[in-house]
Structure formats: C-alpha cells, structure tokens
Amino acid sequence: MDRNVFTVDATLVDQLRSGVRGGVLLPGQSDYDEARSVWNAMIDRRPAIIARCLGSSDVLACVNFAREHGITLSIRGGGHNISGLAVCNDGLMLDMSLMRGVWVDPSARTARVQAGCLLGDVDRETQMHGLAAVLGFVSTTGIAGLTLGGGFGYLTRRFGWSCDNVLSMDLVTADGRAVHASEDVANDVFWGLRGGGGNFGVVTSFEYKLYPVGPEVTAGAIAWRAEAAPDVLEMYRAVTAQAPPELTCAALLRRAPPAPWLPKHVHGQPIITLVVCHTGPVAEAQKELARIKAFGSPLGDVVQRRSYVSQQSLIDGTQPKGRRYYWKSEFLPRLDPGLLAMCIEHSERIVSPHSAIVLFPVEGALNRLPADYSAVGNRSAGWVLNITASWEEAGQDETNIQWARAAWGEMHRFSTGGTYVNFLTEEEGDERIHAAYGANYGRLVELKRKWDPGNLFRMNKNIPSEGS
C-alpha cells in the first residue's frame, strides 16, 4: 500500500477501532472536523482516520497499525504548532487530546503529566501546591510539542528550557515498545527527545521538576503610545540588562487590541506593550518594576499582584484558535540598538491589527549548561525575536506573509545563527532545521537511525535517518 494514500478500508478501520479504547473518527462523522482543526487556520488537512487515545495501550495500537500498514502517522498534542504538524492528509492522526491527567507529588516537587495536556492544565494542578513547571506564555498551548522542541516562558530565565526541567518521559517507539527514558535509562533517546521533537517516538507522559512559584506574583502588562517606542525600548534595554532572573519582561509592538484595560480611543492604534512577570518576593518586585511603572505616560497599566495562573493566560485572547498565522523567528544574542530600530520601523508597516513584533528574553539559566546538554542546544540565545503575522481572511494571506518576510529579511542578521524549531513555519525545511539544531544535528541523525530508521515519525521538523 502507498504510504501516503490510505483509502479507508472497513476491515482495517474495525481492526484499529478494536484496539483503541477512545474510539476512532472518520470523515463525515460528527466531531471529525473539530478533531482535525488546529490553531492555525492556514492548515486544512484531512486525515483518513483519527484515533482518540485514552492511554498508552491505545497509542501502541496506533503506532503498530501505522507501521504494519505503511500509513502516514501524525500526532496531535495541543494542535498549536504553526506548521500544523499534528494533522496529516490521508493518513492516521493519533489524537492525544483526551489524555490530560496531571499527578503532582508536592513533597518531591515533581508532576507526571499526560501528553495531551495544555499548559493551563498543568498550572491549575501544580498551583494548588504553590508549585509550577517551566512552561510557555499561552495557556492553550500543548505541553508535548512545546517541551519536545525546547520550551520557554516566564520561568525560563531562572530555570532553563522546559525540556531542561524534564526528569523522565514515557514513550512508545516506532517498533512498538513502551520505553521509560531518563538520565539513567535509555539516556540516548532522552537526550534527543529534549529538543528533537517527535522524531523518536510518541511520548505518553512527561515527569517535570517543579519550583515554588506563586500562587501570587507581581505581573501584568503596561502600554504606551507607539510614538514613545524609541524611549520605551531604550528604557527596556537598560532595565532588562540588569534584571534578576526572577524578572521576565517581553516587549510587543502592535496595534492596541480591544482590551478593557486600554482606553477605547486607542483600540486599533499602534502601541508598545511590556508584558511583565516577577516571581520573586513582593518588595524586590516592586523595586525592580518601579522604573517601568514610572516611565512616561502609560495608556494602561495592569502590573500588580495577581495569581500566577491569571498571568499565564494574560495574552491568550490575542492568539485565538482559527485565525490565519505566519511567523518568522530567530534567536538573538542581545538587544542590539539597530535591531530595536528595525522593530519600530517594521511595526509601522504592520498590515493586520492582530500582527505583532515580539521580543522574549530567555537569557539566564539555559546559557549556563553546555551546548550539548540536550538536543535543543541554542545555549547562546539571549532573546527570541518573533515576527507574528495574524489575520482573518484567506484573501489577505499574501500581504501579511510578505510583511513578516520583509521584516525578517532585514532583521535576521542580528540572529545568533540559531532559530527555534517550535516556531518554524510550514515552508521552513532542511536549512532552517539545521539552524535550529546547529552542532547537535549529527547526533540527532544517529539517534534517528537507531530509534526510527524507517522514519515512521516524520510529521515533524524531520531529522531523516540519512541526514540531509
């Protein structure tokens, strides 16, 4: 059978259905379209069959089925990947989204988390104990894709990439084995899974290290008119150059969203926003944030004591599922004044009111580990630049994509040379995958040869077993 064209055969479907406790969905059935839809509406793929896994044995049944019948296999975690890699055409989509259990061990400060969880699921359970895992900025993102590609958020400056803080993973391998991987067992694939995406198996659960954080932090957002952007960015550069790891402060240049904390008359007007989170003691946070809060004439300021959980979903509303998205991204070593000037220049040319140029700081703990500590590498990264085009109508694709490409065309010269695998778009292939892994690429190819020589797991930013 052709690997890429799987015509649904009733006998085969029955065979799979009998092995999957969570059931299967076929085209035309209710829930099929919802199950295949992902965050980025640019992606419109139609799997021949969707298997809704409830546990590791369901995952095992799917992996064996796809391998034995030569069927394209895709794995859906949170469905947030910009390239839409969770969904395949004509093949089997293994849907993990029903596997959302979280078990916290407060005394050991660890959590075992099933791979279908969203970030918000983990925060909700861990914050009951005043603990947090190192995750990302938007609560509806899947933990699996985020962690397997690296992962960064408000706690990264203190504790490193999300994947630096994984103690073990359970996975199902291409040859249908259930493997527990950690520093002590199967440590070669454990290294590769921490950055190498879904190239080596289907991860069914992650064990995260947790840290005392919250339940309240000093955090929120503060915004100024775009005319103040040069001064705000200069202040931002000075503040972040001296910020302790407890303070993470992202900068966004965009048009004002219709948020209640911003005056109505500026909605739709260009603004600059700092999204701030200080996870240290209140007195220190107030001292660190005083300069930001006193700067110029903010249009709105909701930096205050708030729950960590509320901060973790503060910008969710700006990134809804179902819009069209296109990103260009780079890791930066530092905030070069020339780059900041270009951020302002290209933000003035933004086409859609939903688009933004975003700077996230990551420097700190991750820089102190050796480059080959885990596959994610990029240990020289100080910042993430993300040029995020976001719009509503298919007819506007070209102009929005061109805006992002033009901005990136002038800004990528400020890159470390590395890029973030989790932010790569559909058309970014081999060259960009090499850039994402740098010197770690060769070791990933070796691992692919050992753990998935037939490239069963290829709906990802693919590491082919023969290299490229």
Ligand X SMILES: Cc1cc2nc3c(=O)[nH]c(=O)nc-3n(C[C@H](O)[C@H](O)[C@H](O)COP(=O)(O)OP(=O)(O)OC[C@H]3O[C@@H](n4cnc5c(N)ncnc54)[C@H](O)[C@@H]3O)c2cc1C
User: How many Cβ atoms sit within 10 Å of the Cβ of residue 201?
Assistant: 28
Which residue of 85, 222, 239, 411 would you call a contact of ligand X, by CB under 6 A?
85
- What is the helix, strand, coil percentage profile of the chain, to 5? 35, 25, 40
**Cα–Cα distance for residue pair 8/26, rounded to 1 Å:** 9
Q: Looking only at residues 176 through 235 of this chain, which bind ligand X when binding is defined by CB under 6 A?
A: 197-198, 202-203
Which residue of 149, 192, 298, 418 would you call a contact of ligand X, by CB under 6 A?
149
* CA nearest to 111, candidates 211, 191, 217, 182: 211
Q: Binding to ligand X by residue 80, rule CB under 6 A?
A: yes
Could you tell me the strand order of the sheet in which 178-182 lies? Answer: 102-105, 110-114, 202-209, 166-172, 178-182
Question: Mapped to the 3 state alphabet, what secondary structure does 118-180 carry?
Answer: EHHHHHHHHHCCCEECCCCCCCCCEHHHHHHHCCCCCCHHHHCCHHHHEEEEEEECCCCCEEE
Q: Binding to ligand X by residue 416, rule CB under 6 A?
A: no
Query: In this structure, are residues 94 and 54 in contact, taking their beta carbons and an 8 Å threshold?
Result: no
Residue nearest to ligand X (CB): 145
The CB-of-42 to ligand X minimum distance in angstroms stands at 12
Q: Which residue type does 67 have?
A: R
Stretch that binds ligand X, among 72-80, 332-340, 347-355, 433-441 (CB under 6 A): 72-80
Q: Binding to ligand X by residue 361, rule CB under 6 A?
A: no
Which residue of 144, 233, 247, 276 would you call a contact of ligand X, by CB under 6 A?
144
Q: Binding to ligand X by residue 459, rule CB under 6 A?
A: yes
Dmax over CA atoms of the chain, in Å, equals 69
Q: Binding to ligand X by residue 418, rule CB under 6 A?
A: no
* CA nearest to 352, candidates 319, 296, 399, 395: 399
The CB-of-422 to ligand X minimum distance in angstroms stands at 4
Stretch that binds ligand X, among 143-151, 208-216, 263-271, 443-451 (CB under 6 A): 143-151
Collapsed DSSP state (helix, strand, coil) of residue 363: coil
CA atoms within 13 A on the CB side of 239: 26
Indicate the residue among 134 and 335 with the shorter CB distance to ligand X: 134
Q: Binding to ligand X by residue 436, rule CB under 6 A?
A: no
Indicate the residue among 149 and 353 with the shorter CB distance to ligand X: 149
Q: Binding to ligand X by residue 152, rule CB under 6 A?
A: yes
Stretch that binds ligand X, among 24-32, 49-57, 81-89, 268-276 (CB under 6 A): 81-89
Which residue of 6, 137, 383, 451 would you call a contact of ligand X, by CB under 6 A?
137
Contacting positions for ligand X (CB under 6 A)? 39, 74-82, 85-86, 96, 115, 136-138, 141-142, 144-146, 148-153, 197-198, 202-203, 319, 422, 459-460
